[in-house]
Amino acid sequence: MSVNILDLAKTYITGPNVEKLAGLLGENSSGVQSALGGILPSILGGIMQKASTTTGAGQILDLARENNDNGILDGLSSILGNSSQSTDLFSLGAKILPTLFGNKTNDIAEAVSSQSGIKTSSATSLLGFAAPFLLSLLGNQVKSSGMGLSGLTSLLMGQKDSVLAALPRGLGNVLNFADLGDFKGSEAPRRETYTPPVVEEKESGSPKWLMWVLLALIAAALIWAMKTCKKDDSAIANNTEATLDSAGAAVSDMVDSTQSKIGAGLDALGTFFKRKLPNGIELDIPEFGIENKLVTFIEASKLAVDKTTWFNFDRINFETGSAKLSSESLVQTKNIAEILKAYPKVNLKIGGYTDNTGDAALNLKLSQDRANSVKAAIVSEGIDASRLDAEGYGKEHPVASNDTEEGRAQNRRIAVRVSAK
Q: Phi/psi at 206 (nearest 5 deg)?
A: -100, 165
Q: 146 falls in which pLDDT band (50, 70, 90)?
A: confident
* DSSP reduced 3-state for 102: coil
Strand partners, 418: 348
Q: Residue 71 domain-assigned?
A: yes
The alpha carbon dihedral of 145, 149, 154, 159 has a sign of positive
The whole-number pLDDT of residue 28 equals 95
Q: 200 falls in which pLDDT band (50, 70, 90)?
A: very low
Q: What single DSSP character describes residue 352?
A: E
Q: Residue 199 domain-assigned?
A: no
Q: Are residues 396 and 339 in the same domain?
A: yes
Q: Residue 193 domain-assigned?
A: no
pLDDT in tens, 308-333: 899 999 999 887 778 999 888 999 99
The whole-number pLDDT of residue 366 equals 94
The whole-number pLDDT of residue 94 equals 92
Q: 223 falls in which pLDDT band (50, 70, 90)?
A: low
Do 294 and 417 meet the contact criterion of CB atoms below 8 Å apart? Answer: no
Q: Residue 124 domain-assigned?
A: yes
Task: Output b/e per residue, 336-373; b: 16+ Cβ within 10 A.
Answer: bbbbbbbbeebbbbbbbbbbeeeeeeebbbbbbbbbbb
Q: Are residues 164 and 222 in the same domain?
A: no
The whole-number pLDDT of residue 319 equals 79
Q: Which of 12-26, 36-50, 74-88, 197-211 has the lowest mean pLDDT?
A: 197-211
Amino acid at residue number 347:
N
Cα 48 to Cα 362: distance, rounded to the nearest angstrom? 43
Question: Residues 71-100: what's their mean pLDDT?
Answer: 90
Do 334 and 284 meet the contact criterion of CB atoms below 8 Å apart? Answer: no
The CATH number covering residue 387 comes to: 3.30.1330.60
Q: H or E segment at 276?
A: strand 272-276
Work out the number of other CB atoms within 10 angstroms of the CB of residue 279: 11
**In the predicted model, what is the mean pLDDT of the chain?**
82
Q: Are residues 286 and 409 in the same domain?
A: yes
The whole-number pLDDT of residue 252 equals 35
pLDDT in tens, 333-353: 999 999 999 999 999 999 999
Question: Residues 212-237: what's their mean pLDDT?
Answer: 52
Q: Are residues 355 and 244 in the same domain?
A: no
Q: Which of 38-52, 71-85, 165-179, 361-375 has the lowest mean pLDDT?
A: 165-179
Answer whether residue 409 shows pLDDT above 90: no
Nearest partner of 155 among 178, 176, 134, judged by Cα:
134
- The domain boundary, picked from 150, 175, 200, lies at 175
C-alpha dist (Å) from residue 128 to 21, 97, 133, 135, 177? 12, 7, 9, 12, 20
- The domain boundary, picked from 246, 266, 286, lies at 266
Do 393 and 369 meet the contact criterion of CB atoms below 8 Å apart? Answer: no
Question: Residues 25-51: what's their mean pLDDT?
Answer: 94
Q: Are residues 35 and 160 in the same domain?
A: yes
Q: 415 falls in which pLDDT band (50, 70, 90)?
A: very high
The whole-number pLDDT of residue 338 equals 97
The whole-number pLDDT of residue 79 equals 92
Q: 197 falls in which pLDDT band (50, 70, 90)?
A: very low
Q: Are residues 293 and 360 in the same domain?
A: yes
Number of compact structural domains in the chain: 3
Question: Residues 138-145: what's their mean pLDDT?
Answer: 88
Q: Which of the pair, 237 or 131, is modelled with greater confidence?
A: 131
- The domain boundary, picked from 245, 266, 287, lies at 266
Q: Which of the pair, 189 or 322, is modelled with greater confidence?
A: 322
The whole-number pLDDT of residue 14 equals 92
Cα 26 to Cα 48: distance, rounded to the nearest angstrom? 31
Question: Residues 191-212: what's their mean pLDDT?
Answer: 46
Q: Are residues 360 and 243 in the same domain?
A: no
pLDDT in tens, 257-289: 333 334 444 556 778 889 999 999 999 998 888
Nearest partner of 309 among 188, 203, 199, judged by Cα:
188
Percent of the chain with pLDDT over 90: 51
Answer whether residue 217 shows pLDDT above 70: no
The whole-number pLDDT of residue 212 equals 60
Q: 55 falls in which pLDDT band (50, 70, 90)?
A: confident
The whole-number pLDDT of residue 216 equals 61
Question: Residues 28-41: what's their mean pLDDT?
Answer: 94
Q: Residue 347 domain-assigned?
A: yes
Q: Are residues 399 and 369 in the same domain?
A: yes
Q: Are residues 144 and 12 in the same domain?
A: yes
For the chain, how big is the Rg over CA atoms in Å? 28
**Which residues form the domain of 284?**
269-420
Q: Are residues 335 and 410 in the same domain?
A: yes
Q: Residue 184 domain-assigned?
A: no
Q: Are residues 316 and 262 in the same domain?
A: no
Q: Are residues 362 and 301 in the same domain?
A: yes
pLDDT in tens, 155-172: 999 999 999 999 887 787
Q: Residue 139 domain-assigned?
A: yes
Q: What single DSSP character describes residue 327?
A: G
The whole-number pLDDT of residue 341 equals 97
Q: Which of 86-95, 174-183, 208-217, 406-415 has the lowest mean pLDDT?
A: 208-217
The whole-number pLDDT of residue 328 equals 85
Strand partners, 185: 53
Do 174 and 104 meet the contact criterion of CB atoms below 8 Å apart? Answer: yes
Q: Residue 192 domain-assigned?
A: no
Enter the pTM of the model.
Answer: 0.48
Strand partners, 286: 272
Continuous H helices in 269-395: 290-299, 330-342, 360-379
